[in-house]
Structure 1
Amino acid sequence: MQELQINAVSTELNKAIQQKIDLKTKPLGALGMLEKIAFKVCQIQQTTTPQLSKPAILVCAGDHGITQEKVSPFPQEVTFQMVMNFLGGGAAINVFCRQNNIQLLVADTGVNFDFEANEQLLDLKVRKGTRNFAVEPAMTREECQTAMTNGAKVIEQLHLEGTNIVGFGEMGIGNTTAATALLCKYTGISANEASGAGTGLDAEGILHKASVIDKALQLHAEISHPLDILATFGGYEIATICGAILKAAELNMVILSDGFIATSALIAAHAINPNVTDYCLFAHESNEQGHKLMLKHLKAEPILHLGLRLGEGTGSAVAYPLVQSAVCFMNEMSSFEDAGVSNKE
Structure 2
Amino acid sequence: MEMIPKEVFKVLREKLGAGFDDFVLEKIVPIAGDTTCENLGIEDSDLRDELWREVDIIVNTAATIKFDERYDVALGTNTMGAKNVLHFAKKCLKLQNLVHVSTAYVCGEKSGLVLEKAFEMGETLNGTLDLDIEHERKVVRETLDDLRAQGVTKEFERTAMKELGLQRARQYGWPNTYAFTKAMGEMLIGLLRVDLPVTILRPTIITSTIREPFPGWTEGISHIDRFLIGYGKGKLPCILADPALDIDLIPGDMVANAMVVASVLNANQPSQYICHVSTSFRKPLKILKVRDCGYEYFSKNSWINEHGKPIKVTLPVILSSMESFRVYISIRYLPILKVLQLLNAVFCQYWQGLYKDLNGKIRLVLRLGELY
TM-score when normalising by structure 1: 0.24
Q: Kindly name which structure, 1 or 2, has the bigger radius of gyration based on alpha carbons.
A: 2
Structure number with greater CO (CA < 8 Å, separation at least 6) is: 1
